[in-house]
Structure 1
Amino acid sequence: MTVLTRTIEVTRTYGDVTALDGVSLEIHQGELVGLLGPNGAGKSTLINLLVGLRRPTSGTVELLGGSPMDASVRRGIGVTPQETGLPTSLKVGETLDFVARHYPVNRKDEVVERFGLADLIKRQIGSLSGGQRRRVGVALAFVGDPKIVFLDEPTTGLDVEARRALWDGIRAFHADGGTVLLTSHYLEEIEALAQRVVVVGGGRVLADDTVQAVKRFVGVRKVSLAAPELPDLPGVIDTERRDGRYHLVTGDSDALVVALVKSGLPFEDLEVQPTSLEEAFLAITATEASHV
């Protein structure tokens, strides 16, 4: 498979803070990769290095066979950062035209249809809601017929309907052979879109595999039950009480259930379920935190 971008033993420091610590990563043509990590884990720093907004303190960053610091190389990518500052006086159509003129090939008409922008074309950016601006900002990343798109929290601030509309646009780009690297605080978004998941924490790569493999790798399960209260139970990674039920994430559901029975406290309607990506993420990052 063709490698579109990679980092080789990359370190990035900000004063005394190490944001990335020896990270090696490859993104191949046609992949849709989800990048996960807690706040401060180094996700945005990694994307900034890949798109040429920052230089590594040490190590090598490659993009489309060249350097991400080369403007001619960056013409082959699309980017939506966490914060976008669009010109409020321009209309959406004018903004699309402005961006399209920077590329030898553009997909403006396709992007308008794919991301549902037809009703916004004649409206000024300044008149749009925050969610509408975000939708335009994401769509702009796809205008220049990019080989790879980097999306940093693309659906932040969107309602469920708008978020799923953007999912459809991202899926359509990927189905046509496009490559995407995206970060998101919405783990269900990563689970819905990504084929491969990279989890970073403490500036390092903690896991890198398919969604299913990452969930199997951590071996966590979700145990839910109805009970008035719970005793201290072994191996509980996360606890949530909702609608009169406890929802526990654990690395050893058998030991937890045995301890629950031995406690003698009343409970009912016990369920043990496979983990979601969110529970797997909690387990991976909790393990990393325990080693710090």
Structure 2
Amino acid sequence: MEPAIVLDGVSKKYGDKMAVAQVSARIESGTIVALLGPNGAGKTTAISLMLGLSHPTRGSVRVFGENPIKTSTRKHFGVMLQQVSLPAKVQVRELINLFRSYYERPLGLDALLKMADLEEFARKEAVKLSGGQQRRLQFALAMAGNPDILFLDEPTVGMDVSARRGFWEHLRSSAGQNGRTIILTTHHLDEADAIADRILLMQDGRITADGSVVDIKARAGNRYVSFVAGPNVRQEDVAALPAVDEAEWSGRHVRIRTSQPDDVLRAIIGRELDASHFEISQGQLEDAFISLTKANEHAKGGAYAEQLAATVQN
């Protein structure tokens, strides 16, 4: 099957700044790819290049074998941006129908309203929807043309937990059933952890890690031992255990980052520490994200921790 998108040695320079540097990637049809990275990593520029909104300084971008600047190529796209202004005095159904009119084979109005869980708001003025409802409307607009490739920029901002869960369940089903390719950016790394087939981690305009969620976690090399500490266990008792890289306390719950989890467990048992509910894991995608980006920054001798922490928390 022909890949959905191919980036071949792509660079983009703005003045003296290299926003994207020698990026190559092949994105297969029907996959969900999370493009992650700190602020200023080059994610927005990379997506602009894929959409044909920006031209590479070097290299090439192909969408189903064609240049994305072509109108015939762009018909494959659906785009949900983070910052969108909705027109006043236009009902939800009117706005969806307007977007449907731009395409030769659009999805039906009823299907789009159901997809976005907006059926009861069809006659409501779009600008009077809540923040989460407006995000769902923007999703319906992005899906209006039944796109082959869907670009999502922070899609669940403003949605409550239930709406976010339903949104991702629908996307996973859509990609699996219709072969739709989905490319997303998100600061909710738990979402990328749960839904993405592949992670592209960008930093300083380059792809610094590429693989499945499992691959990315393994590459970070983190292992975690978690347990509930009894009332007599002190922080210095945990710090004195062997191979403890970092120990986080949340009440009496302790989470130790280590490269040798077996040694940590043996020491806890051997020293007869009052501990229960043990768990060993590779951690979450967020843990790997922090470790890999910090490692890359240390490798080039930069200072990065404050920006990284702010990026993960936003």
**What TM-score, normalized to structure 2?**
0.83
Confirm whether residue 32 of structure 1 aligns to residue 32 of structure 2. Answer: yes
Tell me, yes or no, if the aligned pair for 1:220 and 1:252 is still in contact at 8 Å.
no
Q: Distance in 1 between matches of 2:204 and 2:257?
A: 22
- After superposing the two structures, state which structure 1 stretch, 246-255 or 145-154, moved more: 246-255
- After superposing the two structures, state which structure 1 stretch, 252-261 or 116-125, moved more: 252-261
Confirm whether residue 268 of structure 1 aligns to residue 275 of structure 2. Answer: yes
For 1:25, what is the secondary structure of its paired residue? Answer: strand
In the alignment, which residue of structure 1 is the partner of 2:235? 229
Tell me, yes or no, if the aligned pair for 1:64 and 1:76 is still in contact at 8 Å.
no
Q: Distance in 2 between matches of 1:149 and 1:187?
A: 19
Q: Please report the RMSD computed on the Cα atoms of aligned residues, expressed in angstroms.
A: 2.6
Mark the CA change 1:206 to 1:251 in structure 2 (over 3 Å): closer, same or farther: farther
Tell me, yes or no, if the aligned pair for 1:115 and 1:165 is still in contact at 8 Å.
no
AA matched with 1:141: A
User: How much does 1:19 deviate?
Assistant: 2.2
Tell me, yes or no, if the aligned pair for 2:7 and 2:25 is still in contact at 8 Å.
yes
Tell me, yes or no, if the aligned pair for 1:115 and 1:169 is still in contact at 8 Å.
no
Mark the CA change 1:157 to 1:249 in structure 2 (over 3 Å): closer, same or farther: farther
In the alignment, which residue of structure 1 is the partner of 2:308? none
Q: Which runs of 5+ in 2 are unaligned?
A: 301-314
User: How much does 1:279 deviate?
Assistant: 1.9
Q: Which whole-Å deviations, capped at 9, do the CAs of 1:273-292 have from their partners, x for residues lacking one?
A: 23222222222212112112
Q: Distance in 2 between matches of 1:206 and 1:287?
A: 10
Q: Which whole-Å deviations, capped at 9, do the CAs of 1:186-238 have from their partners, x for residues lacking one?
A: 111112211122211222112222222222233211223435324488673x6
Q: Which whole-Å deviations, capped at 9, do the CAs of 1:147-171 have from their partners, x for residues lacking one?
A: 1111111111211011112112212
AA matched with 1:268: A
AA matched with 2:216: V
Tell me, yes or no, if the aligned pair for 1:196 and 1:210 is still in contact at 8 Å.
yes
- After superposing the two structures, state which structure 1 stretch, 166-175 or 94-103, moved more: 166-175
The structure having more radius of gyration, on CA atoms, is: 2
Q: Distance in 2 between matches of 1:279 and 1:180?
A: 24
For 2:194, what is the secondary structure of its paired residue? Answer: helix
Confirm whether residue 6 of structure 1 aligns to residue 6 of structure 2. Answer: yes
In the alignment, which residue of structure 1 is the partner of 2:80? 80
In the alignment, which residue of structure 2 is the partner of 1:283? 291
- After superposing the two structures, state which structure 1 stretch, 168-177 or 71-80, moved more: 168-177
Q: Which whole-Å deviations, capped at 9, do the CAs of 1:48-101 have from their partners, x for residues lacking one?
A: 111122222222111232222222311111011121222132111111111111
Tell me, yes or no, if the aligned pair for 2:198 and 2:210 is still in contact at 8 Å.
yes
Percent identity for Structure 1 against Structure 2:
35
In the alignment, which residue of structure 2 is the partner of 1:218? 220
AA matched with 1:157: G
AA matched with 1:247: R
Q: Distance in 1 between matches of 2:47 and 2:225?
A: 36
Q: Distance in 2 between matches of 1:138 and 1:103?
A: 16
- After superposing the two structures, state which structure 1 stretch, 47-56 or 268-277, moved more: 268-277
AA matched with 1:282: I
For 2:106, what is the secondary structure of its paired residue? Answer: coil
Confirm whether residue 141 of structure 1 aligns to residue 148 of structure 2. Answer: no
1:1-292 pair list within 5 angstroms: 1-109=1-109, 110-176=111-177, 177-225=179-227, 226=229, 227-230=233-236, 231=239, 236=245, 240-253=248-261, 268-269=275-276, 271-292=279-300
Q: Which whole-Å deviations, capped at 9, do the CAs of 1:13-35 have from their partners, x for residues lacking one?
A: 33333221111111111111122
AA matched with 2:285: L
Mark the CA change 1:285 to 1:259 in structure 2 (over 3 Å): closer, same or farther: farther
For 2:207, what is the secondary structure of its paired residue? Answer: strand
Mark the CA change 1:290 to 1:250 in structure 2 (over 3 Å): closer, same or farther: farther
Q: Which runs of 5+ in 1 are unaligned?
A: none
- After superposing the two structures, state which structure 1 stretch, 11-20 or 248-257, moved more: 248-257
User: How much does 1:180 deviate?
Assistant: 0.7
Q: Distance in 2 between matches of 1:170 and 1:33?
A: 12
Q: Distance in 2 between matches of 1:282 and 1:267?
A: 31
Tell me, yes or no, if the aligned pair for 2:243 and 2:259 is still in contact at 8 Å.
no
- After superposing the two structures, state which structure 1 stretch, 205-214 or 99-108, moved more: 205-214
- After superposing the two structures, state which structure 1 stretch, 208-217 or 22-31, moved more: 208-217
AA matched with 1:185: H
Tell me, yes or no, if the aligned pair for 2:2 and 2:64 is still in contact at 8 Å.
no
Matched residue count: 290
In the alignment, which residue of structure 1 is the partner of 2:311? none
